[in-house]
């Protein structure tokens, strides 16, 4: 089937925006006015307002040779929702700004938008504004998410106490392994026609990399169990890096246990195949978008009732430092070697 291909310049900025934002639904009562004025207008009389923003750059954060545009749009939206959940809030609105180079057609951008709109639909978020312009090279996506949380339920990074339990949702390292796998197949496919990538038995890794989900379910279950975490973050740069943030900002130390780190079977198989250290991948891999949080000791029983949450260690007094306790009882100091796009450039530069 032939794909229609419309040059963006035939529509112009306003024409493109009209087409992309046609029939946008509004589902949140806090949204008073969406796309179509100088500003979006919202009302938050009873809750705190949460705002988070992310900038994704082609060639740095994504590679369109293996990332479908629809998946990219979905992920770009979801990672911002994840930041709102990480404050124990709910995302309600997003704005989407795009800079687009000439190699993209209207249909490409519609594909990207279809992923953003799908994420909005699934997570109950309204797309309320943005900006669309050209770029000299590549695609840039800037998304700002707006959310809310009742005043007494906003969770910062600063509230962990030295006797708290440390919990994570889901499993770690799979998105990173998915990236390694995609990268390996991309290299293997270079110059080959009709190349068939080898993803059998590794679908979970691919999905975690290309189409991550934000943990709304955990936020809902915490509320159901009457738990307000003392601190929380989402894991975007790797567990190790995020743990250090929480410990620094809350002025506590920590002990997390290697044998408690949740790792999926496919992640372990892939690490073996690539001859990589599995725990390093899980601790430093990044892009997991799971939640890392601390709760008071007395929440131990209630936490066990939430599916997909695991206690991986506990906080300590700050002078005891931040350590991973290995299976054989050795203590390894945590290091923030997380996924860092500014440092990463160093290694990728010629």
List binders of a copy of itself among 285-344 (CB under 8 A). Answer: 336, 340-344
Among 28, 35, 75, 95, binds a copy of itself (CB under 8 A): 95
Q: What does the DSSP assignment read for 259-277?
A: GGS---HHHHHHHHHHT--
Spatial separation of the C-alpha atoms in residues 310 and 304, rounded to whole Å: 8
Residue in 98, 179, 239, 256 binding a copy of itself, rule: CB under 8 A: 98
Among 27, 133, 201, 326, binds a copy of itself (CB under 8 A): 133
Q: Half-sphere exposure of residue 232, counting CA atoms within 13 Å on the CB side?
A: 27
Of the residues 84, 227, 247, 283, which one makes contact with a copy of itself according to CB under 8 A: 84
Region near a copy of itself per CB under 8 A, out of 3-11, 64-72, 257-265, 298-306: 3-11
Distance CA 155, CA 234 (A): 12
Can you tell me the distance from the alpha carbon of 149 to that of 125, in angstroms, rounded to the nearest whole number? Answer: 14
* 3-class DSSP assignment, residue 87: coil
Binders of a copy of itself among residues 248 to 277 (CB under 8 A) are 249
Which of 158, 301, 313 lies closest to 230, judged by CA?
158
Q: Interface with a copy of itself includes 8 (CB under 8 A)?
A: yes
Scanning 135-143, 172-180, 191-199, 309-317 for contacts with a copy of itself by CB under 8 A, the matching segment is 135-143
Return the range that interacts with a copy of itself (CB under 8 A); candidates 84-92, 197-205, 214-222, 271-279: 84-92
The minimum distance between CB 56 and a copy of itself, in angstroms, equals 8
Phi, psi at residue 23, to the nearest 5°? 55, 35
Least Å distance, CB 274 to a copy of itself, is 25
Dist CA 216 CA 238 (whole Å): 19
Tell me the site size for a copy of itself, rule CB under 8 A.
79
Enumerate the H helices of 124-256 as residue ranges. 174-189, 203-210, 216-224, 239-250
Among 24, 67, 122, 154, binds a copy of itself (CB under 8 A): 154
CA distances from 50 to 26, 86, 140, 193, 232 (A): 19, 10, 23, 48, 14
Site for a copy of itself in 30-59 (CB under 8 A): 32-33, 36-46, 48-55, 57-59
**Which residue of 61, 71, 215, 314 would you call a contact of a copy of itself, by CB under 8 A?**
61
Annotate 213-225 with b (16+ C-beta within 10 A) or e (fewer).
bbbbebbebbeeb
Distance CA 193, CA 195 (A): 5
121 touches a copy of itself (CB under 8 A): no
Stretch near a copy of itself under the rule CB under 8 A, chosen from 18-26, 64-72, 172-180, 229-237: 229-237
Shorter beta-carbon distance to a copy of itself: residue 269 or 337? 337
Residue 203 lies near a copy of itself (rule: CB under 8 A): no
């Amino acid at each position: 089937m032939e794909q229609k291909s419309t040059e963006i310049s035939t529509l112009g900025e306003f024409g493109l925006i009209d087409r992309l934002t046609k029939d946008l639904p509004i589902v949140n009562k806090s949204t008073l006015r969406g796309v179509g004025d100088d500003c979006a207008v919202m009302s938050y009389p009873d809750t705190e307002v949460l705002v988070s923003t992310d900038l994704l750059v082609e060639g740095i954060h994504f590679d369109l040779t293996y990332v479908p545009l629809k998946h990219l749009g979905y992920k770009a939206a979801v990672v911002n929702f994840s930041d709102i959940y990480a404050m124990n809030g709910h995302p309600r609105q997003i704005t989407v700004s795009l800079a687009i180079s000439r190699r993209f057609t209207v249909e490409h951008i519609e594909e990207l938008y279809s992923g953003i709109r799908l994420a909005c639909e699934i997570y109950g978020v309204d797309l309320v504004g943005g900006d669309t312009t050209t770029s000299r090279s590549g695609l840039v996506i800037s998304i700002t998410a707006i959310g809310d949380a009742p005043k007494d339920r906003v969770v910062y990074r600063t509230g962990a106490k030295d006797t708290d339990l440390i919990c994570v949702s889901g499993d770690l390292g799979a998105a990173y392994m998915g990236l390694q796998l995609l990268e390996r197949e991309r290299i293997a496919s270079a110059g080959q026609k009709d190349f068939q990538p080898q993803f059998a038995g590794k679908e979970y890794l691919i999905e975690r990399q290309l189409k991550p989900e934000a943990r709304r379910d955990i936020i809902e279950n915490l509320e159901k169990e009457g738990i307000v975490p003392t601190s929380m973050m989402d894991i975007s740069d790797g567990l190790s890096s995020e743990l250090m943030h929480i410990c620094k900002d809350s002025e506590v130390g920590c002990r997390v246990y290697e044998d408690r780190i949740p790792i999926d079977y496919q992640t372990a198989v892939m690490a073996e195949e690539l001859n990589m250290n599995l725990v390093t991948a899980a601790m430093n891999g990044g892009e997991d978008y799971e939640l890392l949080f601390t709760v008071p000791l007395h929440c131990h029983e209630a936490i066990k009732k939430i599916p997909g949450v695991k206690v991986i260690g506990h906080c300590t007094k700050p002078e005891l430092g931040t350590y991973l306790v290995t299976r054989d009882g050795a203590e390894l100091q945590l290091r923030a070697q997380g996924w860092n796009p500014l440092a990463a450039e160093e290694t990728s530069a010629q």
